[in-house]
Structure 1
Amino acid sequence: MPLTLLSFHHFYSPIKLSTLHTLAHTHPTLYSGLYLQGRPGALLISSPSVAALQAYVKAVKRMRWQRVHNLGTSEREDHLLRLPAGALVSVEEMRGLVRAAGEYGGAGVEEWVRGAVRRGFGGGPR
């Protein structure tokens, strides 16, 4: 199940959060993921197919953001978040995003997210 990690300069808006939830529930393919509000913000999103994931990322990028970056996409079939379809789960800090990726996706997903965070944020959690 493909995963993508997006980073945002900041992510505070409850309207944007509501839009992300709506996109996850109303798109023909249901998505699930983890998000971090604040500065910086992050979104780890999972989808059953690469094409569906690309469509979700495109919709997110069309929203108005100061900066949004794709920190990486994993197309490995074993990289899967075990969350209910349409669920977006909040985490408190970047370290929490990495831990939750491991909790919901296993050690391989946690290591992939840790590497993407380190590459994208210049250090990240240890």
Structure 2
Amino acid sequence: MLADYLKHYAQDQVDWQTPDLIIPVPLHWMRRWQRGFNQAEILAQYVADELAIPMATKIVQRTHKTPPQKGLSRIERQKNLRKTFAINSKYLSNIKDKHVVLMDDVVTTTATVRELSELLIRAGAKDVQVWALARTM
């Protein structure tokens, strides 16, 4: 449904620019191993395939295992994520001057996507959009 919405949205917008790259919000390797999958990556792969946009899973890494964001306040979420992500320096050229999409399953306080967006912009991304399946209130 998200991919279909984006296809129709793009057709209706005169200033739509197709992103250069989709980056799913990464999980720490241990959480991914425990869960067996990264839900943001599954969504990103489907949307990337449907919209013919490359997806990259190795550019951004979660460097620290943090407690789940669920149940934390806005301030706790922000503290929880400080210096949690890093750009893999081997892939800096893949984001330099690029229009990047961050894909997540659910956005609540925007703490995660803000942290990642700032990191990508500092690393040279031209702009960062956030695409998510759901937004909690």
TM-score, normalised relative to structure 2: 0.32
TM-score, normalised relative to structure 1: 0.34
Larger radius of gyration: 2
Q: Does 1 or 2 have the higher relative contact order (CA < 8 Å, sep 6+)?
A: 1
